[in-house]
Structure 1
Amino acid sequence: MAGTFGELLREHRVAAGLSMGQLAKLIHYSKGYLSKIENDLKPPTPTVARLCDGVLDVGGRLVEAAARGGPALGRRQVLVAGTMLGVGALAGSGTRAVPDEHVIAGMRTSFEQLRELGLQTSPAVVLEPLKALHHTVHALARENAGPVGTRLLLLAARIAEYTGWMSQEAGDEQNAVWWTRQASELSRAAGDPDIASYAFVREAGVALYRRDAAATIGLAQQAQWIGSAGPRVLALAARREAQGHALAGDRYAAESAFDRAARLMASVPQESPYPALGSSAADPLELARGWALSDLGLNAEAAAVLDRQLASVPAASRRTRARFGVRRSLAHALSGEVDRGCRTLADTFGDVAHVDSATVRTDLRQLARTLGRWHNHGAVREVYPDLKRLLAHR
């Protein structure tokens, strides 16, 4: 049996048939960084140890080796280790009382209220409260071992994931990725494969808005390959992969991925565990299919699907209505139905103004360019001033 952590890591990696580059990609760290750890030039962090342990499925051997064999840690590193490994409060004095069920339920309720608010208003309204709530929950997770600490860590991971989404909606891609990766690390430390895998789905969404088809597909596939996420997360990952294939112009691959997503979604239990991940729409797959049909150039089909699906989206889900409503108007315009595109756009203006979404403005800009081809059309002249005002808002 290997001695140092690096030797043990190499032994298990080789046994799993993975190259160093493949393992680095799976745990979302650079190959150079992983090489230094494997060659004992750099000590592993608890997070990296747990990620490698999970991917290589070695039953905690790497986590134990990291805790046993690393050099003495500084105070800050001990705090991080306590968070990631769930060993309780290592910070010394000032530990608060163990939170009871009512306290944890209250923090969950606070998060759910912020999520509800995020459906209807600007991300700027909810971002700072989300960060403050995450800080509180994360601090309590550091101070409490056992089931209480794990539950708090899972809640902190879910808050981090949603904060990443709101950062993307605010147009802050750098923080969107940072919060998403934070969510992945916290969820892996707590042993939840769902949020860890969904973090890749979220990053794939960032790539989709950059119109980077290859990155969208690759990240969505990683979400399906790594860990053992439940059927809902795997379905949402397959949906994102399908959107990536559509962006690349591969209709067959897109339809295959959508079919796989539908089969997975059909197997999701009626009662999903808290907190639910992904879209709150009744049928997120069909909304995404309408989006994908537009990317494939099948705009009349896309508009028909989105017309049908948006009719069932509740009025309170303004962010969903804005996102797919603008895409529907774009599909109508691109299919030559200019009047219909302008009419549906006018119906969507209120939702777009309320949610103040950077991602929605991406489609609005494309829609403005498209409608500009009919600048003398009466319906276009009627909606264009409001469209320009929404695009000017930051």
Structure 2
Amino acid sequence: MGQKPRKLTPEAGPQHELGAEMRAWRTHRGRSLGKLSGRINYSPSYMARVERGDQAASADLVTAYDHELRAEGALVRMYRRHQAAATQDSPSRVHVSNPSPDVSQGSVLLEDTPDLAAPSSEGISVPARTDDGRIIFVTVSRRALLGTLGATAASAALPDATAVATAPTQGTLSGPTAIEHLEATHRVLIDSDKLFGPYQSIPIVERQIAAMKALRRDVRGEDRKRLLLLHARYAELAGWLHQDTRNFRAAQHWMREALEVSHLTGDAQLTTFILARRSQLAGDMHDPIDALDVAEAAEMNATPGSRLEAVAATYGAHAHALRGDPDACKRAYEHAHELREAMDPDPDSPLGVWLDAAYIEAQRARSLNTLGDFHAAAEGFGRALANLPADYHRERGVHLARQAVALAGAGEAEEAGRAGMQALRIGIETGSGRITRQLARLDTDLAPWHSVTPVNEFRDAMREAVLKQA
């Protein structure tokens, strides 16, 4: 029999009250600490201390509980009330869970009505090593993070985007000129994201969306349709950038906006593509039901023989891995390859043109990691890295981080440490949350191999790279 949970004392103070509420939601959903830990990537011991009130909860942990347990914001609102009360009682006190004005609380401070305003992009989740050696995630301002991640190099690569980032104002740009300006910026932003990650691009994308909303008041006819198409594509890009930072609430906001605007355009291909992307987002959020349902809807609505059929099938395949069904996952990836082989090789639409056999195999390797087939996953990522275009710098870091986790799972600690070091360098350069989350897991997975030199080098580098707990 398992150990009987300690009786909680919510009356002991706000920290205990929040912990008790978090446990209540977990037990209500029938989740053990171990099972929930595997879903949200926090250690069970840390979660247990928070639930008992022995340790303060981080903003990220509360947000993860709220989302995974479908608490509909109840936990986040309680956390916010406690933080507000603590600030009033002791405004000069600073703690990692009650940061100074230079540290944003990210999604915890978002408006309760996300449909009225876009979630803030100021909060950036980054790994931090605690005094007892664990890695947690804290949220810092974009300005502070860019100061440590070499923003000068990233900014140098965005002269064109920076030059066109100012929102067009009435009387300075005609409708067609503004639309051409926005189209050119979109191309630059996509190229920049591949090399330098999301943080330089997010504020530019959001300013351009605001500019398009202003322009829609003044343009009609074909120009208005072009503007709506651009609005939808910018919103999809904003969703992707926030998805890469793992700010999932912001990603969901922008993907909803992209889908809504795409319906206004009447462009069925664009709507299908955004549906497929929503499936990918659901997969990143570990929601296999939505990932599969939306992928199937996208594949059904895709033009037969189009590239988007294969894109949708690829994202749907990962949903089977999340459900723990290796046979269905294998069949789904084979289906995605069949659709890719039968598709039009020269499509009129630029949507999803990055999909090729190597991309599908990289997604399959990720699914194998999820299923625990680490040897096959490591080999799959090796092939994907060999076929990755040179300008996909950030994706190289994602593949390396995932390969390192697979190698650690396969017991190849030395190789895992080397791959982790390569991924860490790219993670520092790009600030990609997909990389840093994998590396935090790797840091924990490699702990038993503390006598292996590449492992120690990686873990020491992680210690230098992450923030110290305040």
The two structures share one fold, judged by TM-score above 0.5:
yes
Q: Please give the secondary structure, in 2, of the residue aligned with 1:123.
A: coil
Map of 1:111 onto structure 2 = 186
Map of 1:222 onto structure 2 = 297
Equivalent of 2:175 in 80, 95, 99: 99
Map of 2:164 onto structure 1 = none
Map of 2:6 onto structure 1 = none
For structure 2, which runs of at least 5 residues remain unmatched after alignment? Answer: 1-169
Residue type at the aligned position of 1:381: N
Q: Please give the secondary structure, in 1, of the residue aligned with 2:175.
A: coil
Task: Report whether the alignment pairs 1:263 with 2:355.
Answer: no
Work out whether residues 414 and 454 of structure 2, in 8 Å CA contact, stay in contact via their aligned partners in 1: yes
Map of 2:56 onto structure 1 = none
Map of 2:271 onto structure 1 = 196
Q: CA deviation at 1:316?
A: 2.5
Query: C-alpha distance in 2, partners of 1:249/1:138?
Result: 43
Deviations 1:91-130 (A, max 9, x none): xxx6988634x65343212111111111122422111111
Deviations 1:232-288 (A, max 9, x none): 222111111111111222122112211221122224433344543375777311110
Residue type at the aligned position of 1:134: I
Query: C-alpha distance in 2, partners of 1:210/1:234?
Result: 22
Q: Please give the secondary structure, in 1, of the residue aligned with 2:318.
A: helix
Query: C-alpha distance in 2, partners of 1:373/1:167?
Result: 33
Equivalent of 2:361 in 264, 286, 307: 286
Q: CA deviation at 1:358?
A: 1.6
Work out whether residues 236 and 261 of structure 1, in 8 Å CA contact, stay in contact via their aligned partners in 2: yes
Residue type at the aligned position of 1:223: A
Work out whether residues 236 and 278 of structure 1, in 8 Å CA contact, stay in contact via their aligned partners in 2: no
For structure 1, which runs of at least 5 residues remain unmatched after alignment? Answer: 1-93
Map of 1:208 onto structure 2 = 283
Residue type at the aligned position of 2:369: S
Residue type at the aligned position of 2:326: R
Work out whether residues 221 and 238 of structure 1, in 8 Å CA contact, stay in contact via their aligned partners in 2: yes
Query: C-alpha distance in 2, partners of 1:220/1:389?
Result: 40
Equivalent runs, 1:41-60 vs 2, <5 Å: none
Query: C-alpha distance in 2, partners of 1:389/1:222?
Result: 45
Q: 1:325 to 1:263 in 2, by over 3 A?
A: same
Q: Please give the secondary structure, in 2, of the residue aligned with 1:283.
A: helix
Map of 2:459 onto structure 1 = 384
Equivalent of 1:128 in 203, 209, 230: 203
Q: CA deviation at 1:303?
A: 1.0
Q: Please give the secondary structure, in 1, of the residue aligned with 2:199.
A: helix
Q: Please give the secondary structure, in 1, of the residue aligned with 2:425.
A: helix
Query: C-alpha distance in 2, partners of 1:389/1:271?
Result: 47
How many equivalent residue pairs?
Answer: 300
Equivalent of 1:172 in 236, 247, 269: 247
Equivalent runs, 1:142-153 vs 2, <5 Å: 142-153=217-228
Map of 1:139 onto structure 2 = 214
Q: 1:106 to 1:273 in 2, by over 3 A?
A: farther
Identity across aligned pairs (percent)?
Answer: 26
Q: Please give the secondary structure, in 2, of the residue aligned with 1:119.
A: helix
Task: State which drifts further: 176-185 or 122-131.
Answer: 122-131
Task: Report whether the alignment pairs 1:325 with 2:400.
Answer: yes
Query: C-alpha distance in 1, partners of 2:386/2:217?
Result: 45
Map of 2:421 onto structure 1 = 346
Shift >4 Å, 4+ stretches: 94-98, 226-230, 278-282
Work out whether residues 358 and 387 of structure 2, in 8 Å CA contact, stay in contact via their aligned partners in 1: no
Query: C-alpha distance in 1, partners of 2:389/2:209?
Result: 28
Q: Please give the secondary structure, in 1, of the residue aligned with 2:200.
A: helix
Q: 1:241 to 1:310 in 2, by over 3 A?
A: same
Query: C-alpha distance in 2, partners of 1:126/1:119?
Result: 11
Q: CA deviation at 1:229?
A: 8.1
Query: C-alpha distance in 2, partners of 1:269/1:144?
Result: 35
